[in-house]
Amino acid sequence: MQEIKKINDSVSLNNFQSKYLGKNSILCYYFSKLVTLNISERIKCSTILNSFKQKIKNKIYKKKIKLKNNKLINQKNKYFIDYTLPGRKMERGSLHPITMIMEEIIEIFNYLGFNIYYGPEIENKYYNFDALNIPHNHPARNISDTFWFNSNYVLRTQTSSMQIRVLEKNPGPIRAIIPGKVYRRDYDHTHTPMFHQIEGLIVDESISFSNLKWILENFVIQILKKNIKIRFRSSYFPFTCPSAEMDIQDKNGNWLEILGCGMVHPNVLKTCNIDGNVYSACAFGIGIERIAMLKYSISDIRCFFENDIRFLKQFV
């Protein structure tokens, strides 16, 4: 008992335990000698030895607890904790506003039976220009407007390039939306070199411009969560005929273009071996940033890409 009182660390305590309770301990030595005694002496001695063994075990257990408590006290004294300090605030994250708008748009069109397709951002000029009926002298082909890798490949300028890929694999009927990034050499408060679009394509029998107008009018009401004045302006796109741009009126009475649309050009259908006598098709392209700017009353598109935490926290 005097020996265990002098122990101040776990290593010494383990050595002590081995000395008295281990395989080669003093106690084991005396237990092995019990076989040399007669029955009455064996009972008497085994009782004494077991009592001693239990007593040693209790002492070791209490010593372990004491050493553990001393260790905790020493650590507490070494690393002082100021309990009066305020707690750390847990920051709460959220999706980027562009991602939120894109997911909301996809959900709206999924409800209408549209399937989602994704395509490459590095596109062959055949899919990006030629198959979309864009002539060789069109300004979109200029190096001042488009990011070219070489004479055959570009960073896609619109998600319309996926129309051709979808039409090649699906002769019809088709309801498809194609979300993704597109790239153009443009940079100001309403344009950035990289932005997001969602392309829509419908191929079926007896599809008309009135079907297209109904879909887009209902889409705008659902995405902006309010009735708003809408107009369709006649426009020109090489891959649609007739073509139109859809404008909405803001609270100041100004008209703002939000998307382009039209009936898919017969040349595009012919390129993809779609029988124009059986099927007709319409398409539209929605600018995600433009919708987000309207929905959240943001005047500068560049805010979405500057990674300003103060701006992004508004959408948490």
pLDDT digits (tens, 9 = 90+) for 107-121: 999 999 999 999 899
Q: 63-82: per-residue pLDDT in tens? A: 888 878 877 777 666 666 67
CATH among 3.90.1150.10, 3.30.300.100, 3.30.420.130, 3.30.930.10 for 97-315: 3.30.930.10
Question: How much is the pLDDT for 40?
Answer: 84
What number of helices (H) and strands (E) belong to the chain?
11, 9
Cα–Cα nearest to 288, from 167, 188, 211, 196: 196
Q: How far apart are the C-alpha atoms of 256 and 287, rounded to whole Å?
A: 12
| Residue-wise pLDDT tens digits, 303-314 | 888 888 888 888
Judged on CB neighbours under 10 Å (0-12, 13-18, 19+), 101 is buried
Determine the average pLDDT of the residues in 244-270: 87
Out of 85-89, 97-101, 196-200, 287-291, least confident range: 85-89
> Which residue's entry shows tokens 């290593």?
11
- What number is the average pLDDT over the span 162-177? 87
- Per DSSP bridges, beta strands 194-204 and 230-237 are unpaired
pTM (2 d.p.): 0.67
Domain ranges of the chain: 2-78, 97-315
Q: What is the token pair recorded at 227?
A: 């009735």
CA distances from 154 to 122, 138, 146, 304 (A): 6, 15, 7, 24
CA–CA dist 256, 268 (Å, integer): 29
Rounded mean pLDDT of 230-243? 90
Q: Write out the H or E segment, with its range, that includes residue 154.
A: strand 153-155
C-alpha distances out from residue 116 to 148, 160, 255, 266, Å: 27, 14, 30, 24
Distance separating alpha carbons of residues 44 and 39, to the nearest angstrom:
9
Q: Which residues have a Cβ under 8 Å from the Cβ of 316 and sit 6 or more positions away?
A: 92, 93, 94
Quick check: helix, strand or coil at residue 175? strand
Amino acid at 300: D
**pLDDT for the residue numbered 76:** 66
Report the C-alpha gap between 187 and 144 in whole angstroms: 12
